[in-house]
Amino acid sequence: MITGTIQKMLAQADEQGSVHYHMRIGQEVVGLNALLGQKVSLDFSGQIICQHCQKTTKKSFNQGYCYRCFTKLAACDTCIMSPEKCHYHKGTCRQPEWADEYCMQSHYVYLANSSGLKVGITRGDQLPTRWLDQGAIQGRAIFKVMNRRISGLVETAFKQEVADKTNWRAMLKGDVEPIDLEVQQEQLLNWLSQELDALQFEFGLESIMDLTTENKTHDFSYPVLEFPNKITSINAEKTPKVEGQLLGIKGQYWLLDSGVINIRKYTGYEATFTW
């Protein structure tokens, strides 16, 4: 039994692509793969701690922040969800020093298969973590770009042809079919060549580095004993005592015989974890 504030689960893939999860609660880290088939519970106290200022808040914004931090931090600005709207170059960034470390660094544009084909972006040090957090069974980086804004502009071009969101319900049903990401990559690059050429003309040839000939598709398998036939989402604010047999973990979700719960959604929530 451990009591503390919940953080996003740690996910790592071994050389064979098998994903291993750890629960972070308070200062403790607990391996979850070994708990498959066992009864687990999270008993939420009702207290929420802001992950930035560490103050108690009545409501969580953007997965773990109080309202003040949500409106002040660059990490909570609209351009984080829509990086093509980055306004750093206009001199209006909320926290330029933070942006120098996180946004004005190289990013990857990738294709993944979580609930079907999707395009996405992530910072250069976040692969394959980003794929695992989305429950992707396949991932393939196609470009390395100069900064977050340019990655968003490339992603926007791709969104003309492919989704940029994961259907989390479809992802949790476990019937996602493998896709030949290399073939999809070639087709998309042919269709979008003019848009990509225009971005390179605007920002320079080195702003978008092609990884298509040197990269490979990564495959992942998740620790799941049984996928649910029906997806029933558990809301911990309405059901503060969450318990059931742990049938699997995929993305940031626990698959219980009583329903599914998004652990990341409750970042900063205090709970007692029992197994």
Question: Where in the chain are the domains?
Answer: 2-64+222-274, 73-104, 107-219
Cβ proximity of 116 and 167 under 8 Å: yes
CA distance 75 to 77: 6
CA distance 115 to 129: 17
Residue with the two structure tokens 């793969």 = 33
SS3 163: strand
What would the pLDDT profile of 173-209 be if each residue is shown by its tens digit? 988 999 999 999 999 999 999 999 999 999 999 999 9
Confidence grade of residue 90 (pLDDT, cut at 50, 70, 90):
very high
* Residue 59 bridge partners (DSSP): none
The secondary structure of 182-225, three-state, reads: HHHHHHHHHHCHHHHHHHHHHHCHHHEEECCCCCCCEECECCEC
Confidence grade of residue 136 (pLDDT, cut at 50, 70, 90):
very high
Q: Is the pLDDT of residue 34 over 90?
A: yes
pLDDT above 90 covers a percentage of the chain that reads: 97
Cβ proximity of 102 and 108 under 8 Å: no
Cβ proximity of 211 and 144 under 8 Å: yes
Q: Is the pLDDT of residue 99 over 90?
A: yes
User: Token digits for 38?
Assistant: 């066992």
CA distance 104 to 90: 14
pLDDT above 70 covers a percentage of the chain that reads: 100
> Residue range 12-26: average pLDDT?
97
Show Cβ contacts of residue 256 under 8 Å, excluding neighbours closer than 6 positions.
40, 234, 242, 243, 244, 245, 246, 247
Q: Is the pLDDT of residue 137 over 90?
A: yes
What would the pLDDT profile of 57-77 be if each residue is shown by its tens digit? 999 999 999 999 999 999 999
Identify the helix (H) or strand (E) that includes residue 155: helix 148-158
Cβ proximity of 117 and 187 under 8 Å: no
Confidence grade of residue 102 (pLDDT, cut at 50, 70, 90):
very high
pLDDT at 30: 97
User: Token digits for 5?
Assistant: 């504030």
pTM: 0.94
pLDDT at 212: 84
pLDDT at 174: 87
Cβ proximity of 268 and 48 under 8 Å: yes
What would the pLDDT profile of 200-214 be if each residue is shown by its tens digit? 999 999 999 999 887
pLDDT at 183: 96
Q: 84: exposed, middle or buried (C-beta count within 10 Å: 0-12, 13-18, 19+)?
A: middle
pLDDT at 22: 98
User: Token digits for 178?
Assistant: 């493998």
Peptide bond just before 128 cis, omega within 30 deg: yes
User: Token digits for 85?
Assistant: 């709207």
* Residue 218 bridge partners (DSSP): 139
Q: Is the pLDDT of residue 241 over 90?
A: yes
144 or 213: which leads in pLDDT: 144
